[in-house]
């Protein structure tokens, strides 16, 4: 016998969760941890990437997009020691 959940009157059940991928939004704190930069430098890097999202006065970047930007920097302007 299968127990089914029957919503009570006036209660709307939550829709099933949809997973759209494994992408994460990285905030300034996560960029700081990944790069070792300070808060201002991390925020500047996010903005100059052109891939930055601003949600409720906070900055975010999609993880894969950020790493793609870093790779573009590496290819276009490699560091010579």
User: Using CA atoms, how far apart are residues 15 and 64, in angstroms rounded to an integer?
Assistant: 28
Residue range 5-18, pLDDT digits in tens: 665 666 666 666 54
**pTM of this structure:** 0.67
Mean pLDDT of the chain: 83
- CA 33/CA 39 separation, integer angstroms: 10
Sheet containing 25-27: order of strands? 25-27, 58-62, 52-55
Per-residue pLDDT of 16-29, as tens digits, reads 654 557 888 999 99
What does the chain come to in residues?
Answer: 81
Residue 55: pLDDT over 70:
yes
- The model's confidence at residue 35, banded by pLDDT at 50, 70 and 90, is very high
Q: Where are the domains of the chain?
A: 25-76
Per-residue DSSP letter, 7:
P
Buried-state track 23-33, b at ≥16 Cβ within 10 A, e below 16: eeebbbebbbe
């Amino acid at each position: 016998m299968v127990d089914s959940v029957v919503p009570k009157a006036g209660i709307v059940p939550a829709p099933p969760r949809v997973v759209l991928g494994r992408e994460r939004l990285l905030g300034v704190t996560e960029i700081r941890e990944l790069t070792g930069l300070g808060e201002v430098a991390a925020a500047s890097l996010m903005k100059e990437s052109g891939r930055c999202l601003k949600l409720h006065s906070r900055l975010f970047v999609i993880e894969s997009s950020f790493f793609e930007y870093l790779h573009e920097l590496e290819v276009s302007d490699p560091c010579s020691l």
